[in-house]
Amino acid sequence: MTRTAYINARLIDPATGLDTKGALLTEGENIADFGATLFKDGVPDGISTVDCGGHCLIPGLVDIRVQLREPGEEYKGTLESAGRAATAGGITTMVCLPNTLPVIDDMSVLEFVARRARKLGLAKVFPYGAVTKGLDGLELAEMGLLAEAGAVAFSDGIKPVADAQILRRALSYASTFGLLIVQHAEEPSLADGGAMNAGETATRLGLSGIPREAEIIMVERDIRLLQMSGGKLHFAHLSTSDAIDVVRKAKAAGLNVTCDTAPPYFALNETAIGDYRTFAKLSPPLRSESDRVAVIEGLRDGTIDAIASDHAPHDEESKRLPFAQAAFGGIGLETLLAVTLELHHNGHLGLIDALKLLTSAPADLMGLKAGRLEKGAPADLALIDTDRAWKIEADDLLSISKNSPFDERPVQGRVLRTIVDARTVYELDA
């Protein structure tokens, strides 16, 4: 059985608050031991050694919102390209949306995705099941059967479950099995035809706006439905102060509600669109500066439970269009860590708190045994230099699609090595 010692490391486990100089030992595919005193008298013969150079050895990141595009749209991205991009970003576990072609609304598609990801041996992939058949919002999918087949939660992906009665039934049905419903909070009739956040900037650019209220109204409605039906509800990529405040109050009232956000919503605002820059056309749209600040506050006070990449790859033809016609979405796997670390470098969050939002917190939301340093657990790890400066260059990213809203942004924090099941699957070129 292969044994590897990772020595001279700064061990960080956000789940327990561990932050110490020490070493970690992998045996087979698992973590055998770790701590401050491990190998203090040297590494025994027969164990291969990796010198971490004093850098942070952390649990691999857990990204709970990824669009993989396979099966069906492989020209935008594949399981392999996403796996390589993910591991370059320190991500060892991804939860993928069900909006593939065909949709993950039956067991055969779910099993295809899971089996293919296992065969590739890159980042681990856990699929969402669809809430409604074909993501059409009309008829509930077989959530019980999909859960048995391995679906970790249920979502209609980039579409909201717009019909209140359907969502009420979904919550009620899911609560019987203890399943989580994940909602894209956007009232579709208010958002229809909009290209960016409604307001002064949209008016100046001559673009139709998506009002903040599209998100706020949906969050308010869905929390009322949660009160009626029971169950567990999670809101993806919240972007407005009012929606975050509604979740804050619902949590205080004891409701089983959680939410996440994505790096664009705390690192960018609507001015990033500049002169019709389609890489900055996202869903939900980039908001005002006051909303951006409110997202940071939601992360600081614990209202927002996790950060996800919201990785949405598109081909060049979908983005090289007039802004109003271009597709919504940006890639985010390789930039997730670096942009999140801005919260630490700018003094908004401690390092452990920032890393927790990317590791144990999202893993716990999805009920995954990941995102922790634990003896006996799979050795899914990332070695990171939190201070390494670099510039995001979209053309240099490993993703097939290059539509990064952070193109040309200088950042601090780089993944040096990514380990999945004790195998090094990514190493930064020196």
Angle between helices 213-229 and 164-177 (to 10 degrees): 50
Provide CB contacts within 8 A for 75, sequence distance 6+: 315, 400
Among 13, 63, 305, 310, the active-site one is 310
User: What is d(CA 300, CA 401) in angstroms, rounded to the nearest whole number?
Assistant: 32
Overall size of the chain counted in residues: 430
Provide CB contacts within 8 A for 95, sequence distance 6+: 62, 63, 64, 65, 66, 125, 126, 127, 128, 152, 153, 362, 366, 368
Residue 140 vs residues 41, 109, 224, 337, 366: alpha-carbon distances, Å: 60, 17, 20, 35, 21
The distance between the two most distant Cα atoms of the chain, rounded to a whole number of Å, is 69
Tokens 């999918």, located at residue:
141
Pair 193, 224: CB distance under 8 Å: no
Residue 310 designated active-site: yes
Q: At CA 223, angle to CA 217 and CA 228, rounded to 5?
A: 130
Tokens 């016609």, located at residue:
325
Active site residues: 310
